[in-house]
Chain A
Amino acid sequence: MPIEILMPALSPTMTEGNLAKWNIKEGDTVRSGDVIAEIETDKATMEVEAVDEGVVGKIVVPEGTPSVAVNSVIAVLLEEGETADDIATLDVTRASGATSDPAPIATDLPAMAEHAEPKPAETPILVEPEYVGPMVTQTVREALRDAMAEEMRRDPTVFLMGEEVAQYQGAYKVSQGLLEEFGDKRVIDTPITEYGFAGLACGASWGGLKPIVEFMTFNFSMQAMDHVVNSAAKTLYMSGGQMGTSIVFRGGNGAASRVGAQHSQCFAAWYSQVPGLKVVAPWSGEDAKGLLKAAIRDPNPVVFLENEIMYGQTFDVPESADFVLPIGKAKIEREGKDVTITAFSRMVGFALEAAKLLAEEGIQAEVINLRTIRPLDKATIINSVKKTNRIVSVEEGWPQSGVGAEIAAVMMEEAFDHLDAPVKRVTGEDVPMPYAANLEALTLPSPEKIAAAAKAVCYA
């Protein structure tokens, strides 16, 4: 069978081009790789190389022909033992001017929409088993340390790396005692090189390990975001399910105190936009321990957003090494019938204080500790709003495209008929964090701001 040489496309968008020049004539022998022609578009001129070997049997489209359709036959090659007569058997009607076959793209839009419909938000409400074991009073810092130590005892592939995590015992003393127990093979001080060690940890995960990467604070994770998003979050999908990235990125997130704009930023909304990541933000000691253990056991990349100001706060924490909380499940910290307040991380404490203020005025607020930002536990929020018909979202981060913006959208899409008032957001002000104490206080949410917002949606 003679071989058809087709008009090639130089780019995905090219549909036709000019056949500027032939470098071969009928009767010439060509080898694969030989430059046989030049074609041009309004953007570029390119050489066409032969892919197959043979003798040029026929030049179908002469040089100088403009607007030759992509995929039309421009020449015919004869293989060994064939003659020009064999060309007669070929259908060369697809030559210049004839319409080329469309690219075989089966875009059946209605069918696509049907198949692509995301799963409905109405996931069944999981009832969290009540923990009834012994409790211990400890700080969030200690709860995080215990979570890591317990998981490192359980699984020898788990290791911790980050700046100052080993000999210094953690910049915020979260990894206190881990180097002594697990040694420097598993508790590793890194250079200050976020982009590098975040990428290295993703590679180590593919090599069968379970890295816990500590960012001294998440502000520095911006240096490493390429690996968090492009390497950790997307590889499972890009590999057709062959190769996931089992990894935890953890560290302090959000505003600390008087450290200014570059060190006071919430990354919850940033990371929660990325499919392939889980984003967790604990508030209490119980959250810290149960969720960090869950994050370490999870086969997916988990961004674990702690808060520096919470590290020193004390809670009653389940003592058992088997205590694990489910990722993707919010917790109702306080029940109420009049208004729902959602919050995460340090803001849960503010919301509970606001609830006390509201109670003094006869308003019963239901406070939801989101615990996980992605996947968001929509079911718990919607169920609460069905009862209260009003909702206020609280976060430290900026308003635009924030977690509250997402919750407001979910309410519009999935709970509109249950709302008696528009959703209200309490967020960090839309400014870089100022240093001055009075301006910093003005920037952040407060129990009073939250209470005021709750009263506003209650028209009280």
Chain B
Amino acid sequence: MAKAAKPATDAKSKAPARRRGASPKTSAEELLSYYRDMLLIRRFEEKSGQLYGMGLIGGFCHLYIGQEAVVVGVHANALPQDTVITSYRDHGHMLVCGMDPKGVMAELTGREGGYSKGKGGSMHMFSREKNFFGGHGIVGAQVPLGTGLAFAHKYNGDGGVCYTYFGDGSVNQGQVYESFNMAQLWSLPVLYIIENNKYGMGTAVHRASSTTELYQRGSAHGIPGAQVDGMDVLAVRDATAKALEHVRGGKGPYILEMLTYRYRGHSMSDPAKYRSKEEVTKVRSEQDPIDNLRTVILKTKAADEAALKAIDAEIKTIVTEAADFSKQSPEPALSELYTDILVEA
């Protein structure tokens, strides 16, 4: 089911039909690129989990497994000047922005070769060069920050949009609505992407939110929204394209609620007792974004088994190299403790 919400005052919103399978305008090349990007995130995250288990990654580590279609589908629409910001479940977003898997993995292991020289960790990573602005550890904080990046896009007149991602857990933070209000008031070019994976840590959405149609959360501010099958990369891509027409057209923000699912716990130390094994198994077997796209690719003959196997092997090599780099890169020099606190004027 896909639903669209216009401002509450405009009841004539039309629900776009949910897309299934490959759109006629999707080329084989595009399908394979989505497959590759999603698979890279999946394999990267599995490896992260493994390195965490070996004690090479410490602290908090939030994996994106299951949600890959969201960031890949959204980013398929990105222009070079666009900016991206998200929460602490950020590894997938960095990879899709083109950040080097070696640098990301080495940050997870807290090494000198990491994007933050080992001083940020899983939750706090950035790449100004790739327009990725974090990686934020405080639930909901990235929403005003992303709205501010959009403010800068408008001030500078660069035509860019800020993709501001946040989870169902953050939609009850007050600063989210403070941001919605200013974004709409000032017509800022920001696309709000709510990744609704059904649980904010261990609390199901209906236990935390008085209304669970999260795409309607902007209606008090007159911000339109739509609900999207976040397990279908093509549906995500197309819904994003439609939302961007609104945002790039100078009409202000838009909200996309991506219905998705994380297969792993909230963080590595979460045994996930709040949901049944059957629930996880069912989603994995019926809705897995990568398996489903693989089926589409084979059915439409965009590629054959051998070609997909070659991609699998390529990804495996990238991830293995990233893991090796992250183990070999030295820990930061002790002299790094007192650097990067202030910019020397």
Known contacts A237-B119, A243-B126; is-contact A276 B342 (Cβ 8 Å) = yes
Q: How far is the CB of B169 from chain A (nearest CB, A)?
A: 16
* One of B50, B125, B134, B152 near A207 (C-beta < 8 A): B152
A6 close to B342 (CB less than 8 A) = no
- Enumerate chain B residues within 8 angstroms of A71, measured Cβ to Cβ: 54-55
Which residues from chain A contact B185 at a C-beta distance below 8 Å? 191
Decide: A51 and B49 in contact? CB cutoff 8 A.
yes
Let me know if B47 and A209 touch, CB within 8 A: no
Q: Closest approach, in angstroms, between the C-beta of A198 and any C-beta of chain B?
A: 8
Q: Which residues of A contact B120 (CB under 8 A)?
A: 238-240
**Quick one: which of B119, B185, B333 has the most chain A CB within 10 A?**
B119
Q: Is the pair B182, A231 in contact by a Cβ cutoff of 8 Å?
A: no
Q: Does A196 contact B (CB under 8 A)?
A: yes
B56 at the interface (CB under 8 A from A): yes
Instruction: Judge if B302 is at the interface, Cβ distance under 8 Å.
Output: no
Q: A200: which of B85, B179, B341 is its contact (CB, 8 Å)?
A: B179
- What string of 1s and 0s marks CB contacts (under 8 Å) between B249-290 and chain A? 000000000000001110011011100000000001000000
Asked whether B144 lies within 8 Å of A200 as measured between CB atoms, the reply is yes
B339 within 8 A of A: yes
- A242 contacts which of B58, B128, B265, B268 (Cβ < 8 Å)? B128
Residue-wise interface mask of B (186-217) relative to A, using a CB-CB cutoff of 8 A (1 in contact, 0 not) = 00000000000000000000000000000000
A278 to B345, CA, bound (A): 12
Closest-CB distance, B86 to chain A (whole angstroms): 13
Per the 8 Å Cβ criterion, residues 317-345 of B in contact with A are 331, 333-335, 337-343, 345
A204 touches B342 (CB 8 A): no
A206 close to B148 (CB less than 8 A): yes
Give the complex CA separation of A242 and B107 in angstroms.
Answer: 14
Does A207 contact B138, Cβ atoms closer than 8 Å? no
| CA A276 to CA B339, docked complex, whole Å | 11
Given the interface pairs A103-B55, A207-B156, A276-B342, the reply to whether A242 lies near B127 with Cβ below 8 Å is yes
Query: With an 8 A cutoff between CB atoms, is B145 at the interface?
Result: yes
Question: Which of B9-17, B25-33, B109-117, B237-245 is the interface stretch?
Answer: B109-117
Task: Determine the chain A residues whose CB is within 8 A of the CB of B117 once the complex forms.
Answer: 240-241
Out of B138, B268, B284, B338, name the residue touching A116 (CB < 8 Å): B338
Interface size on A, residues (CB 8 A): 68
Residues of A close to B284: CB separation below 8 A: 33
Interfacial chain B residues near A275, Cβ < 8 Å: 341
Q: Which residues of chain B are within 8 angstroms of A200 by Cβ–Cβ distance?
A: 144-145, 147-148, 151, 179, 182
Tell me which residues across on chain B come within 8 A of A119, comparing CB atoms.
Answer: 338
The digit string for B145-168, where 1 denotes a CB below 8 A from any CB of A, is 111111111011000001000000
Docked CA distance A202–B151 (Å): 11
Distance, CA A227 to CA B145, complexed state (A) = 9
Tell me which residues across on chain B come within 8 A of A372, comparing CB atoms: none
- Known contacts: A51-B50, A235-B126. The answer to whether A33 contacts B263 by CB under 8 A is yes
Does residue B174 face the partner (Cβ distance < 8 Å to A)? yes
> Is B178 interfacial (CB-CB < 8 Å)?
yes
- Give every chain A residue within 8 A of B46 (Cβ-Cβ): 32-33, 49, 51
Decide: A45 and B271 in contact? CB cutoff 8 A: yes
Query: When chains A and B are docked, how far (Å) is the Cα of A44 from the Cα of B266?
Result: 14
Assembly CA distance A241 to B340 (angstroms):
5
Q: In whole angstroms, what is the CA distance A118 to B333 when docked?
A: 15
A193 to B119, CA, bound (A): 32
**Interchain CA distance A116-B272 in the complex, whole Å:** 40
- Point out the residues of chain A lying under 8 angstroms from B138, CB to CB: 226, 230
> Which residue among B59, B117, B136, B149 has the maximum number of chain A CB atoms within 10 Å of its CB?
B149
A-side contacts of B269, CB under 8 Å = 10-12, 44
Contact (Cβ within 8 A) B182 A196: yes
B102 at the interface (CB under 8 A from A): no
Is A201 part of the binding interface, using a Cβ–Cβ cutoff of 8 Å? Answer: yes
With A116-B338, A238-B124, A276-B341 as known contacts, state yes or no: A204 contacts B54, CB within 8 Å. Answer: no
Please name the 3 residue pairs, one residue from A and one from B, whose CB atoms are nearest each other, closest first.
A203-B148, A207-B152, A196-B178
- Please, could you name 6 A-B residue pairs with CB atoms under 8 Å apart, sorted by A? A12-B58, A196-B179, A207-B151, A236-B342, A239-B134, A297-B345
Q: A12-B58, A106-B331, A115-B334 are in contact. List 20 more A-B contacts (CB 8 A).
A: A10-B268, A10-B269, A12-B269, A32-B43, A33-B284, A71-B54, A116-B338, A190-B182, A191-B182, A195-B178, A199-B175, A200-B148, A200-B151, A203-B149, A206-B149, A207-B149, A207-B153, A209-B156, A238-B119, A242-B115
